[in-house]
Amino acid sequence: MAPMNDFKMVLGMDFLQKVKPMPLPFLCSMVIIEEEKPCMAPTVIEGRKDDGPGEPMPMEIKGVLDEFKDMMLPELPKRLPPRKEEDHKIELEPRAKPPAMGPYRMASPKLEELRRQLKELLNAGFIQPSKAPYGTPILFQKKHDGSLRMCVDYWALNKVMVKNKYPILVIADLFNQLGRTRYFTKLDLRSTYYQVRIAEGDELKTTCVTKYGSYEFLVMLFDFTNAPNDVLHTHE
């Protein structure tokens, strides 16, 4: 069934298959050629109105969501995670030292953003002032939404870091494990890296240098070469 609305007729597929019209989407019309006489017919795209929210949520699901609402917060509390056996260790190659570099030059808007993010990290307890004789500069990467992601340029530190050989999951292997599975669960951990502490004594190695001072991280960053491996090991 098709609603007629203000239309006098609706052309069905049988008619379209017979006359074989040529669509002209850029003109919102189609051309029908019959007996070598072209006829142009306008087309109308009818938008579908939103009927509002979908089906009501089953009571069983609502009950589970209500029971575990404290585990589904929009964002994690701004505080340090507890110490664990899996704290992120930063082991350097023999006779290697962390790099000592100066801060990168930044435009005024990025400096203001840097000040804001440093203050936020300080208030959360994720960083603390450092007096280490070395440090790594900071830069910014633009996100898809236009905001700026603060990145610590640990390339020099990663170069002398002992690499973690814990295997990273391969997508092809994961597909093989799925087999004939029909139902899947999506699990997205919030601020995953910030949920892992830097091992005690290794905080100095994370020192970053800025125009506003030097700071060392107390939580793991995605910038570390071993970070993905440690995250997988921690959550398996």
Q: Across-strand partners of 32?
A: 39
Amino acid of residue 37: K
CATH superfamily of this structure's domain 77-235 = HIV Type 1 Reverse Transcriptase, subunit A, domain 1 (3.10.10.10)
- Spell out a b/e string for 10-34, using b for 16 or more CB atoms within 10 Å of the CB, else e: eeeeeeeeeeebeeeeeeeebebee
Domain ranges of the chain: 14-42, 77-235
pTM strictly above 0.85? no
Q: What is the pLDDT of residues 145-169, one digit of tens each?
A: 989 999 999 999 999 999 988 777 7
Token couple for 197: 């502490």
Q: Which residues are registered as beta bridge partners of 34?
A: 37
Measured in residues, the chain has a length of 236
Q: Which residue has the tokens 């440690």?
A: 230
> Each residue of 26-38: pLDDT tens digit?
667 777 777 667 7
Give me the pLDDT at residue 162, please: 93
- Are the CB atoms for 24 and 31 separated by under 8 Å? yes
Q: Among 120, 86, 118, which residue's Cα sits nearest to residue 197? A: 86
